[in-house]
């Protein structure tokens, strides 16, 4: 997982231009996806059924999963095919990567959001997109790329809150607001086991793990994961016990880092909080400190806090059973990519061509949650859970029909 940026927030408004957008969409389809991202095809499912369910004046909020670093261009192509004009809410640090990227994103209609702080301009822009109805609004509720394509990471409730707030104002005018769950699944179209095996060995070399010959990929990844967790905990003066399962070690490691960090920040974990919830709360506090010029005396300490929060998030982002439960080529390749990204703190290059299916699910009508006035916290939770469950169901359906080598179980040891 790539590091967060705590540079001072900058607002990047959408600046769409029809002819520029058309040219960029052509480039995305013909050049960027197939050549840079190695996305061989994008197949859309459910778009006709979605259009059949729409009424005049309906507003759409698309909530996709976020499994790869190619999701934004994939979704642009999918919504082009589905005849759904869109505006995308994206983290502001993505715009800060380069002036070219920022220019392209703005011309495509994207706008920035400070995902870890209050952002009235982004909120106003998002509500304006919903109110006008000329475009559908796209929000990625997972918030980060977790590189576990077959499993949805718990959705952040901010997307549902935003959709419900927009729906409330429109309901009084007789307009519906619909949340559309979108499932994105990428699968390798060729046997990339040699390249994946090389990547696993590269990860092992980075933390000086000697892999025995003949190891199956799941065991190799487990040994690398255990060694990496132990190494990071010892480097920070934390206990690194020998636990029975990788899942137990992940929970222990993330918990140990978070407990110490929360103590520094004056935070207390709540009984129902997941590890990801706790990281998100710590990140909000750290982000506020690092971007506050009045707290310059705390900035040096906050750099250390940010590193600890990132480590906890990296720990918590591994389920510990993703490959073991079903060791497909796709899952092994994703986990190897994730390890390299976490160890190098940079995005590795794609190793093979992938076919993508984008499935538009049954729309969730928000009317019943806003008909009685201001939506409650229970409504936000219910919409979040419904969208998350629908995206997972979509992924399961795509996987059940996956014809590509990426969906096949990896039989035997590492290759080469």
Instruction: Give the Cα separation of 71 and 139 in Å (integer).
Output: 12
Start-to-end CA distance of the chain, whole Å, equals: 27
Q: Is the pLDDT of residue 115 over 90?
A: no
Query: Looking at the DSSP assignment, which residues form a beta bridge with residue 91?
Result: 113
What is the separation of C-alpha 96 from the centre of its chain, rounded to a whole number of angstroms?
A: 18
Residue 3's pLDDT band, with cuts at 50, 70 and 90, is confident
Residue 243's pLDDT band, with cuts at 50, 70 and 90, is confident
Strand 364-365 to 39-45 pairing: unpaired
What is the pTM for the complete model shown?
0.94
Residue 416's pLDDT band, with cuts at 50, 70 and 90, is confident
Rg (CA), the chain: 22
Q: Is the pLDDT of residue 117 over 80?
A: no
Q: Which tens digit of pLDDT belongs to each residue from 363-396?
A: 999 999 998 777 788 999 999 999 999 999 999 9
- Residue-level pLDDT at 372: 79
Q: Is the pLDDT of residue 125 over 70?
A: yes
Q: Which tens digit of pLDDT belongs to each residue from 309-330?
A: 999 999 999 988 999 999 999 9
Q: Which tens digit of pLDDT belongs to each residue from 262-315?
A: 999 999 999 889 999 999 999 999 999 998 999 999 999 999 999 999 999 999
Give all domains of the chain, ordered by start, each with its CATH number: 18-189+352-407 (3.40.1130.10), 193-344 (no CATH)
CA angle 357, 361, 364 (to 5 degrees): 155
Q: What is the mean pLDDT of the chain?
A: 94
- Residue-level pLDDT at 1: 66
- Residue-level pLDDT at 4: 73
Residue 172's pLDDT band, with cuts at 50, 70 and 90, is confident
Q: Is the pLDDT of residue 8 over 90?
A: no
DSSP letter for 349, please: P
């Amino acid at each position: 997982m790539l590091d967060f940026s705590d540079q001072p927030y900058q607002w990047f408004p959408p600046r769409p231009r029809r002819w520029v957008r058309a040219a960029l969409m052509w480039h995305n389809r013909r050049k960027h996806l197939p050549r840079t991202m190695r996305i061989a095809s994008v197949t859309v499912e459910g778009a006709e059924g979605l259009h059949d369910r729409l009424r005049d004046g309906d507003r759409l909020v698309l909530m996709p999963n976020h499994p790869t670093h190619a999701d934004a261009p994939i979704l642009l192509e999918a919504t082009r095919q589905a005849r759904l004009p869109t505006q995308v809410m994206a983290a502001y640090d993505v715009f800060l990567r380069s002036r070219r990227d920022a220019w392209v994103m703005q011309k495509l209609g994207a706008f920035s959001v400070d995902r870890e702080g209050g952002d009235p301009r982004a909120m106003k822009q998002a509500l304006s997109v919903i109110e006008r109805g000329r475009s559908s609004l796209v929000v990625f509720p997972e918030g980060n790329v977790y590189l576990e394509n077959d499993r949805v990471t718990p959705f952040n409730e901010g997307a549902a809150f935003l959709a419900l707030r927009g729906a409330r104002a429109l309901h009084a005018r007789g307009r519906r607001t619909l949340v559309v769950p979108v499932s994105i699944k990428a699968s390798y179209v060729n046997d990339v086991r040699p390249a994946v095996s090389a990547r696993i060995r590269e990860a092992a070399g980075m933390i000086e793990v000697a892999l025995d010959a003949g190891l199956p990929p799941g065991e190799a990844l487990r040994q690398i994961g255990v060694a990496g967790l132990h190494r990071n905990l010892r480097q920070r003066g934390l206990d690194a016990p020998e636990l029975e399962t990788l899942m137990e070690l992940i929970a222990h490691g993330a918990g140990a880092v978070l407990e110490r960090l929360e103590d520094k920040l004056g935070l207390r974990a709540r009984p129902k909080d997941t590890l990801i919830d706790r990281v998100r709360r710590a990140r909000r506090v750290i982000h506020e400190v690092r971007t506050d010029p009045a707290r310059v005396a705390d900035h040096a300490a906050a750099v250390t806090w940010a590193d600890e929060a990132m480590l906890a998030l990296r720990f918590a982002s591994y389920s510990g059973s993703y490959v073991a439960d079903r060791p497909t080529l796709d899952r092994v390749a994703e986990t190897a990519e994730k390890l390299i990204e976490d160890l190098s703190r940079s995005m590795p290059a794609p190793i093979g061509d992938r076919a993508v299916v984008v499935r538009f699910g049954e729309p969730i009508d928000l009317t019943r949650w806003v008909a009685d006035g201001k939506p409650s916290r229970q409504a936000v939770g219910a919409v979040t859970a419904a969208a998350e469950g629908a995206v997972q169901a979509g992924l399961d359906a795509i996987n059940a029909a996956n014809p590509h080598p990426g969906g096949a179980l990896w039989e035997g040891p590492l290759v080469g």
